[in-house]
Amino acid sequence: PDPGLMGPHTVIKAEYNLGDTSYTPPAAAMFPAKMEERGCVHYPSDLSAGPYPVVIWLHGQHDVCYDSVTLVSSTSVWPCPAGKKPILSYEGYDYAAKVLASHGYIVISVSANAVNTRSNSLSDYAMNARGVLMQHHLDLWNTWNTTGGAPFGTTFVGALNLQDVGTMGHSRGGE
């Protein structure tokens, strides 16, 4: 069958946002600032049929904030200053995430706006920081899969097969 067509599962989307500066990466990340813990998840509505394999997705290098009146965007600072709104690049793959989830995957898309503000000034263009950020989100999901917790309660306990994880990314998110 055409893998671009919707599969047999009804899909639900949920967002999570634990804060724009809530994660302090370890020294090994070689990243000089706090990062956001924000993302979205697309998943089959019948989680009791799991555990489902996991796909974690990271967007590429893009502007991070915009002015909702002038629509001018910027990559210069994170979190966004007063009067600016974050660009939700992690939602750019909703169309693909929905299709994958309909075929029985739990698809997590991670925000990396904090990384994008500084990546051009780092010798590795923040590749290490991106990997550390993705691992941190997988650690969050391990907790939500094992014991639950805010913001999902026990919704995802036992639903993710964290022994079967695929990573995907666009541009610098895939490097």
**Secondary structure of 23-90 as H, E, C letters:** ECCCHHHCCCCCECCEEEEEEECCHHHCCEEEEEEECCCCCCEEECCCCCEECCCCCCCCCEEECCHH
β-pairing, 106-110 vs 52-58, is: parallel
Q: How many CA atoms lie within 13 A of 36 on its CB side?
A: 26
Query: Which pLDDT band, with edges at 50, 70 and 90, does 120 fall under?
Result: confident
Cβ count near 91 (within 10 Å): 16
- pLDDT tens digits, one per residue of 154-171: 999 999 999 999 999 888
β-pairing, 160-169 vs 52-58, is: parallel
Predicted local distance difference test score (pLDDT) of residue 76 = 82
- Top mean pLDDT of 70-84, 85-99, 122-136 is at 85-99
Handedness of CA 36, 143, 141, 27 (dihedral sign): positive
Residue 6 DSSP class: -
Given a cut of 90, whether residue 11 has pLDDT beyond it is yes
- Find, among 142, 134, 117, the residue nearest to 175 by Cα: 134
Question: Is 0.85 surpassed by the pTM of this model?
Answer: yes
